[in-house]
Amino acid sequence: MAKQLIGDLEPGAEVKSAFIVSRKELRKTKAGAPYLALELADKSGKVDARVWDGVGRYKDAFAEKDYVAVSGRAERYRDQLQVVVNSLRRCGDDEVDAADFLRVVSTDRAELEGELRQALEEVRSTHLRGLLLAFFDDQEFMRRFTTAPAAKNYHHPYLGGLLEHTATTVRICRMICDLYPDIDRDLLITAAALHDIGKIQELDYDRSIDFSDAGRFLGHLLLSDEMIRERIACMPEFPRDLAMRLRHAVLSHHGELEWGSPKRPKTLEAIVLHHVDNLDAKVNSFREIVGRAGGESSWTDMRNLFKRPLYAPRSMSQEMELDLGEDVPR
């Protein structure tokens, strides 16, 4: 079965392809008839799907995170694309190409890791340097850190996204330190390198990207802090005040209480990290949205993270597509 990408589906198109089930719910119509509400996914995006007929036959035939072969038709419902399923069946792993379902960072991961390690060599503090090596010389940690996405949906939502986001955050922080010499460079670079490490526990990404139980209960801010505290506990000479300032920068990097930070930034390094992290996340989110833009308009619709139309001239969208490669949804 040839793979159809969700990003290429148009209203009226026949659908005959394999997808992964990212959400499955048994619902009832207003008249009381059962139907299945599905969300199908692949590396190019997600689409809602509905099974109206044969619900009794299909409701226990597959589960969330299963691959399914779908036959149906793409339609537009309330200005959203939707797949009406005529038939489906569960697929085995040997029937699909896993590369069709999870995107991978377009930049070479070895290059990103090399850039990050080079930046960490600039850290002169023996305590912070020792803490960084405790993480980045750990092969199992690095295997997960270089593979994990940075988010489920919004920014860097692809394998290697966490490494890319971290490397970019560190890169920008190094530039800012050159502009503002009163910043504690070692502290900021260390906090930037470690600020999202909890995402290796927050997210599951074997077939699709979703939150783990730890991610739903605790979130990556607390998980990152817990990982840092565990490593520092093995370093009895680590200064208490330095540990407190580092942990504060990590815990407060979302900036505001309503954005998930248990504390708002109260040091110069914490304030810088918050804004740099937010900048890289928003720029990547914008590029993701523009990369998905279709049609002839220079504006996206309002259904995006920013909740407003975004200006995306065709030349810019095409450039994004070329820059990010074939994995970018169209």
DSSP-assigned states of every residue in 235-289: -TTS-HHHHHHHHHHHHTTT-SGGGT-SS---SHHHHHHHHHHHHHHHHHHHHHH
Residue 324: pLDDT above 70? Answer: no
pLDDT confidence of 329, banded at 50, 70, 90? very low
Average pLDDT over residues 241-252: 98
- Residue 308 φ/ψ, nearest 5 degrees: -160, 155
Distance CA 114, CA 116 (A): 5
Beta bridge partners, 50, equal: 37, 84
Three-state secondary structure of 109-169: HHHHHHHHHHHHCCCCCHHHHHHHHHHHCCHHHHHHHCCCCCCCCCCCCCECHHHHHHHHH
SS3 183: coil
Kindly report the pTM of this predicted structure. 0.83
The neighbour count for residue 185, using CB atoms within 10 Å, is 20
Average pLDDT over residues 206-219: 92
Q: Do 55 and 35 touch, CB atoms closer than 8 A?
A: yes
Distance CA 301, CA 3 (A): 27
Q: Which of these, 268, 193, 258, 255, lies nearest to 224 by C-alpha position?
A: 193
pLDDT confidence of 327, banded at 50, 70, 90? very low
Topology, domain 6-98? OB fold (Dihydrolipoamide Acetyltransferase, E2P) (2.40.50)
pLDDT confidence of 247, banded at 50, 70, 90? very high
Residue 244: pLDDT above 90? Answer: yes
Across all residues in the chain, what is the average pLDDT? 91
Q: Which of these, 237, 254, 256, 253, lies nearest to 245 by C-alpha position?
A: 253
Residue 109 structure tokens: 């991961």
H or E element: which one contains 175? helix 161-179
Q: What percent of the chain clears pLDDT 90, i.e. is strictly above it? A: 74
Residue 326: pLDDT above 50? Answer: no
Distance CA 281, CA 153 (A): 11
Average pLDDT over residues 243-260: 94
pLDDT tens-digit series, residues 49-92: 999 999 999 999 999 999 999 999 999 988 789 999 999 999 99
Q: Which of these, 229, 118, 220, lies nearest to 162 by C-alpha position?
A: 220
Q: Do 192 and 116 touch, CB atoms closer than 8 A?
A: no
User: Which of 3.40.50, 1.10.3210, 1.10.8, 1.10.3470 would CATH assign to domain 109-285?
Assistant: 1.10.3210
**Low-confidence winner among 193-197, 265-269, 309-313 (lowest mean pLDDT):** 309-313
Residue 330: pLDDT above 60? Answer: no
Q: What pLDDT does residue 297 have?
A: 74
pLDDT confidence of 315, banded at 50, 70, 90? low
Residue 318: pLDDT above 60? Answer: no
Beta bridge partners, 17, equal: 70
Domain ranges of the chain: 6-98, 109-285
Residue 319: pLDDT above 90? Answer: no
Residue 89 structure tokens: 């069946």
Burial class (CB in 10 A: 0-12, 13-18, 19+), 57: exposed
pLDDT tens-digit series, residues 253-281: 999 888 888 999 999 999 999 999 999 99
Q: Do 131 and 190 touch, CB atoms closer than 8 A?
A: yes
SS3 179: helix
